[in-house]
Structure 1
Amino acid sequence: MLVGSGLLLADHLTPPNTGRPSYALPVADDHTALDRELGPLLARNPGQTGAITLVDGIDAFAARAMSARQAGRSLDLQYYIWHDDLTGRLLAREAWLAAERGVRVRLLLDDINAGGKDTPLLVLDGHPDIEVRLYNPFRNRDGIARLLEMLQRGFSLNHRMHNKAWIADGRVAIVGGRNVGLEYFGASDASNFHDLDLLLFGPEVERASAIFDAFWNSEAVVPLSDLGTLGLDDIRATVEAIGSEARSAEARRYMERVEGSPTVRAYLQQSLAPHWSDRIRVVSDPPLKRPGDDTGDWLVGQVDRALRGAREAALLVSPYFVPGEDTSDLLVALAGRGVHVGVVTNSLAANDVAAVHGGYSKYRRGLLEGGVHLYELRPEAAGDGEGGGTGPSNVRPRTGPAGSSGASLHTKAFLVDASRGFIGSYNLDPRSAYLNTEMGVFFDDPGLAADLRAEYLHLAGPALSWKVGLDADGDLAWLDGAAEPPRLLRAEPDASRWRRLQAWAFRHLPLESQL
């Protein structure tokens, strides 16, 4: 009865967007520090967008924090996940301090990961210059009622906003794969993600702002203030706690690492060298992806067309790789035409979602037999931090995870031939294709391609990944090229029997459309 009522009444059960429409504020020549800093740079490169790759998590945090500190007009922030941890609270504090200076802050979060975080979000929303809205939210904010609503509205709640964008003053945009949290910024003691963003300034930032506005004003988005309220005591306690944490020893140690970043030092010395191009394009799915809609302009169609155009090489990085029959056939067909096709994804031991690995594993043998090269990331990320110094100038040296014992792949990107590629939030799986909204950057630029190729080779190298292949008997084998001497492994490396059983079970369940 719950599920049936959800199917019949889905549109009525979804909270409506009662928020007033608002749009990106117009840029000015010298209104803010970012205007004054970037204006002359953009004037020397008319019609072109500047781009810097952010490989290292410390650099990625620094870019967000520094742009927030320099913002004088607006911050538009759009994320799938914003963890209530040290880095999440530090960046929330930067947004709060910007609002204290009169900066308008709009924070748009997907609600599937916002459960239980209403108090700090309502504190932010309580500032007169900050507004928080949630994508496809639950009416019930916690407890058993939220679980029952998930059952009732399961089909409509299955559509999520996976976009990631940080836009300051309409001048700077950070677009890519990172959410906000310890593991995305090299700050986790347990496991950190290999991830990738692009820092953009120029005409395409306006396009990123237009995408944000389309989501902000869409019917799928609801003001947080419609869903809960907060007392003054809660506000005071939360603000005091965040302020105390910002002065803590842990925060100081992390910020010392940020301030010591080579990219931060290069920025302060004005020696960063962005790639300038008029062939950089920020793209996104529409705010709502309904079954039966025309998918021609969705990212799935654009990604498919880009891959089909490969003539020499197609190098793919996807942490959650469930290619399905169509993409598997495409990759095998490309390899059959003499195109070098390589894929870096998570191993079972490194993947944080065993179900996804189960979905991927059913296509692995066919891809290998068809000439596709597969690399699976090792969970311990052995040797990370040794490969960054030899790459292009915009690929910053990798500091590696501080104190972490593991790593997982989160980069979502691909490179076609010598210059064309994509960096963003899009996984090569059915969920990114048809259920989640996704966002990213297409480019046709040799410099950005060189950066991405260097990162692909770093991730696919023996220090970080096992190369998957078929042995003389046609059985799956994993080459451990970092061992002395190199050795072949005959079962999913470093994965427990329980995890292998999980992946095997999910492989045989009819769940692929949800992966």
Structure 2
Amino acid sequence: MVKPVLRWTFIAALVLALLSVLALWSWGRFAASAQGEPSSALSAAPAVTRLDRLVAPMLAQHAPEASGAALVHDGVQAFVARARSARAAERSLDVQYYIWRHDMTGKLLEHELMAAAERGVRVRLLIDDMNVGGLDDALRAMDSHPNVEVRLFNPARNRSSTVMRAVEMGLRFIGFNRRMHNKAWIADNRVALVGGRNVGDEYFDASADTNFQDADLLLLGAAVGETSGHFDRFWNSAAVVPLGALHTAPPRWSLDDFSQHRQQWLADAAASPWIKALAGRDDLDEKLRGDDLPIHWSPSIHVVSDPPEKASAVRARRDPAGWLLYDVMTLLFSARQESWVISPYFVPGDGGALMLSGQARRGVQVRVLTNSLVANDVPLVHAGYRGYRETLLRHGVQLYELRPGEAKTDRELLGSSGASLHTKAFVVDGQRGFVGSFNFDPRSAQLNTEMGVVFDHPGLAAEVKQLFDQGARPAAAWKVQWDDSQGALRWTGAEGERVWHHEPESSAGLRLLVWAMSFLPLESQL
């Protein structure tokens, strides 16, 4: 009885493996034949567009290699910065995201991209295909405009059937599991926004449920050219396919249909704070001059990114020497006095835990802010993180876990009463730092492509440290401690509040689920 079962199991596994290899081979041939025409960022000029005329005088006051960076952490402000820069653009908009939701803020930014295209602006929109399901009608309508091209990173060929898409994802798991996690918004090759935000209501404080606390850097100068260079490398890579190559039938929505949808979206959102913020005085000039948003200038500000080949299903095409991981680890290894880490998904692995523990043992102040179980939108990640807490705490690392709602500011309360950490940032010795898309976990290190900004500037570092302090204060986060007398963890908040001896505010069922998931051999995928 056992032998037939083993035989059929072996045959099934062999067939599945052959189908997987065939699916990978077939997709590779298709992607090679469907490559779009290469293109590159349109060069900035001294005084051709409004953004040229605004930015060029500021650049003239600094060395050619210098860049300006302003921290943008307010959700509404982040939305307005994207929309206003799109309205100011007269030459090009290059936009790259892991997630683009077709919700209120996503629709409004789709409208801004289309409005720019209708003014003659060239728009290149690059989105990872993992979360594009259901968006094809809107994206195809945009793609049908002569000034817009939409491309997808590592897309599924099956666009109409959810079941077939899932089957393809399963058969191509080795390749499909590797995603483009980059986030960039570039206007006229003069202004860029790079950071941790995707496009969607929860990233701009517009969700009725839970909003993400996040951060971008608004960039001027040499760093914008670096951002455009990274964008071009992805846009022209073998992993990217034009949306039009994935469809044979005409789009369901014509440009006229899409225009009507856009007008309805504007009407539906007319009373929202996001439309009202755009309806006010256009203060983009003041913001870019630093009147309203502190801009820090330094030649040390650089945009770094993984190469698109990191996401290749073929191991021989992946060259780890060029990965962002090494920029991040170089930064963290340089700590002598303090190392502060903000990471919503924190799974340090044995190597990361050893590095942070070793630093703490040698007198470096190591502080980590991450999500609590009830604030984490991915419980499986918390299952991977929970086992490292005791080791880190015993060696002197300070751990803080964000509460699900108390950390909201007045502006953030526009959307919901829930909060989840999404900022990815590090600060070392109060001087050097990183803001971007890189989580301190195996997925960011080994699977997904990531990007961000590294800097060596005390003023910018101080602002990022302030973000940490804001998130780690007792009203916003629980401090996790090791209780030697009990041989267990405890969570403390503000003075007089309850001391927790299990994951705060979590149900027994959720704690049991996370405990069970912690035994799954999936850490490399987290």
Shift of 1:489: 0.6
Query: Alignment partner for residue 435 of structure 1, among 430, 444, 447?
Result: 447
Query: Would the aligned equivalents of 1:320 and 1:428 in 2 still touch at CA under 8 Å?
Result: yes
Query: Alignment partner for residue 268 of structure 2, among 235, 238, 248?
Result: 248
Q: In the alignment, what sits opposite 1:63?
A: 81
- Structure 2 residue matching 1:178: 3-state secondary structure: coil
Distance 2:472 2:339 in 1: 14
* Farther off after superposition, 244-253 or 177-186: 244-253
- Structure 1 residue matching 2:308: 3-state secondary structure: coil
Structure 2 residue 131 is matched with structure 1 residue 120:
no
Distance 1:231 1:32 in 2: 33
* Farther off after superposition, 2-11 or 327-336: 2-11
Shift of 1:253: 3.9
Q: Deviations over 1:224-267 (max 9, x none)?
A: 00112434655433331221111235554432245679986953
Indicate how the Cα distance of structure 1 residues 230 and 9 shifts in structure 2: closer, same or farther if over 3 A, else same.
closer
Query: Would the aligned equivalents of 1:122 and 1:224 in 2 still touch at CA under 8 Å?
Result: yes
Query: Would the aligned equivalents of 2:270 and 2:276 in 1 still touch at CA under 8 Å?
Result: no
Shift of 1:430: 0.5
Distance 1:207 1:340 in 2: 32
Q: In the alignment, what sits opposite 2:424?
A: 412
Distance 2:515 2:57 in 1: 57
Q: In the alignment, what sits opposite 1:130?
A: 148
Structure 2 residue 40 is matched with structure 1 residue 19:
no
Query: Alignment partner for residue 186 of structure 1, among 184, 205, 208?
Result: 205
- Structure 2 residue matching 1:50: 3-state secondary structure: strand
Q: Deviations over 1:458-487 (max 9, x none)?
A: 111111100001123221100022xx5133
Q: In the alignment, what sits opposite 1:222?
A: 241
Q: In the alignment, what sits opposite 1:154?
A: 173
Q: In the alignment, what sits opposite 2:356?
A: 331
Q: In the alignment, what sits opposite 1:480?
A: 493
- Structure 1 residue matching 2:319: 3-state secondary structure: coil
Distance 1:336 1:30 in 2: 55
Query: Alignment partner for residue 384 of structure 1, among 401, 408, 423?
Result: 408
Indicate how the Cα distance of structure 1 residues 109 and 249 shifts in structure 2: closer, same or farther if over 3 A, else same.
closer
Q: In the alignment, what sits opposite 1:491?
A: 502
Indicate how the Cα distance of structure 1 residues 192 and 262 shifts in structure 2: closer, same or farther if over 3 A, else same.
farther
Q: In the alignment, what sits opposite 2:70?
A: 52
Indicate how the Cα distance of structure 1 residues 361 and 90 shifts in structure 2: closer, same or farther if over 3 A, else same.
same
Q: Deviations over 1:124-170 (max 9, x none)?
A: 10100000000000010132111111111111100100000000000
Indicate how the Cα distance of structure 1 residues 375 and 140 shifts in structure 2: closer, same or farther if over 3 A, else same.
same
Q: In the alignment, what sits opposite 1:300?
A: 325
Shift of 1:297: 2.2
Structure 2 residue 368 is matched with structure 1 residue 348:
no
Shift of 1:210: 0.5
1:392-407 superposed matches below 5 A: 399-407=411-419
Distance 1:374 1:308 in 2: 19
Distance 2:440 2:345 in 1: 7
Structure 2 residue 461 is matched with structure 1 residue 449:
yes
Q: In the alignment, what sits opposite 1:395?
A: none
Query: Alignment partner for residue 514 of structure 2, among 500, 503, 512?
Result: 503
Q: Deviations over 1:248-290 (max 9, x none)?
A: 3555443224567998695399713311111001000000215
Query: Would the aligned equivalents of 2:128 and 2:154 in 1 still touch at CA under 8 Å?
Result: yes
Indicate how the Cα distance of structure 1 residues 318 and 447 shifts in structure 2: closer, same or farther if over 3 A, else same.
same
Query: Would the aligned equivalents of 1:476 and 1:490 in 2 still touch at CA under 8 Å?
Result: yes
Indicate how the Cα distance of structure 1 residues 335 and 96 shifts in structure 2: closer, same or farther if over 3 A, else same.
same
Structure 2 residue 27 is matched with structure 1 residue 5:
no
Shift of 1:494: 1.3
Distance 1:261 1:404 in 2: 26
- Structure 2 residue matching 1:462: 3-state secondary structure: coil
Structure 2 residue 293 is matched with structure 1 residue 275:
no
- Structure 2 residue matching 1:148: 3-state secondary structure: helix
Indicate how the Cα distance of structure 1 residues 490 and 409 shifts in structure 2: closer, same or farther if over 3 A, else same.
same
Q: How many residues in Structure 1 have an aligned counterpart in Structure 2?
A: 500
Q: In the alignment, what sits opposite 1:320?
A: 345
Which amino acid in the other structure matches residue 7 of structure 1?
A: V
Shift of 1:30: 1.0
Distance 2:427 2:399 in 1: 15
Distance 1:269 1:339 in 2: 37
Which amino acid in the other structure matches residue 101 of structure 2?
A: H
For structure 1, which runs of at least 5 residues remain unmatched after alignment?
386-397
Indicate how the Cα distance of structure 1 residues 41 and 347 shifts in structure 2: closer, same or farther if over 3 A, else same.
same
Query: Would the aligned equivalents of 2:140 and 2:251 in 1 still touch at CA under 8 Å?
Result: no
Q: In the alignment, what sits opposite 2:93?
A: 75
Distance 1:4 1:251 in 2: 55
* Farther off after superposition, 492-501 or 30-39: 492-501
* Farther off after superposition, 315-324 or 262-271: 262-271
Identity of counterpart residues, as a percentage? 50
Structure 2 residue 482 is matched with structure 1 residue 465:
no
Q: In the alignment, what sits opposite 2:5?
A: none
Q: In the alignment, what sits opposite 1:390?
A: none
Indicate how the Cα distance of structure 1 residues 134 and 99 shifts in structure 2: closer, same or farther if over 3 A, else same.
same
Distance 1:148 1:38 in 2: 49
Query: Alignment partner for residue 258 of structure 2, among 238, 242, 245?
Result: 238
Distance 2:430 2:162 in 1: 52
Which amino acid in the other structure matches residue 113 of structure 2?
A: A
Indicate how the Cα distance of structure 1 residues 308 and 270 shifts in structure 2: closer, same or farther if over 3 A, else same.
closer
Shift of 1:383: 4.9
Q: Deviations over 1:99-120 (max 9, x none)?
A: 0010000000000100121000
Query: Would the aligned equivalents of 1:96 and 1:124 in 2 still touch at CA under 8 Å?
Result: yes
Query: Alignment partner for residue 91 of structure 1, among 109, 119, 125?
Result: 109
Shift of 1:121: 0.4
Structure 2 residue 174 is matched with structure 1 residue 145:
no
- Structure 1 residue matching 2:444: 3-state secondary structure: helix
Query: Would the aligned equivalents of 1:3 and 1:151 in 2 still touch at CA under 8 Å?
Result: no
Query: Would the aligned equivalents of 1:79 and 1:165 in 2 still touch at CA under 8 Å?
Result: yes
Distance 2:188 2:171 in 1: 40
- Structure 1 residue matching 2:414: 3-state secondary structure: coil
When the two chains are superposed, the root-mean-square deviation of aligned CA atoms in Å is 1.9
* Farther off after superposition, 270-279 or 366-375: 270-279
For structure 2, which runs of at least 5 residues remain unmatched after alignment?
1-14
Distance 2:350 2:416 in 1: 37
Q: Deviations over 1:409-450 (max 9, x none)?
A: 000010000210000000011100111000000000011001
Q: Deviations over 1:13-46 (max 9, x none)?
A: 2441420000001111111100001111111122
Distance 1:200 1:240 in 2: 34
Query: Alignment partner for residue 31 of structure 1, among 44, 48, 71?
Result: 48
TM-score, length-scaled by structure 2: 0.91
Query: Alignment partner for residue 288 of structure 1, among 298, 309, 312?
Result: 309
TM-score, length-scaled by structure 1: 0.93
* Farther off after superposition, 411-420 or 499-508: 499-508
- Structure 2 residue matching 1:62: 3-state secondary structure: helix
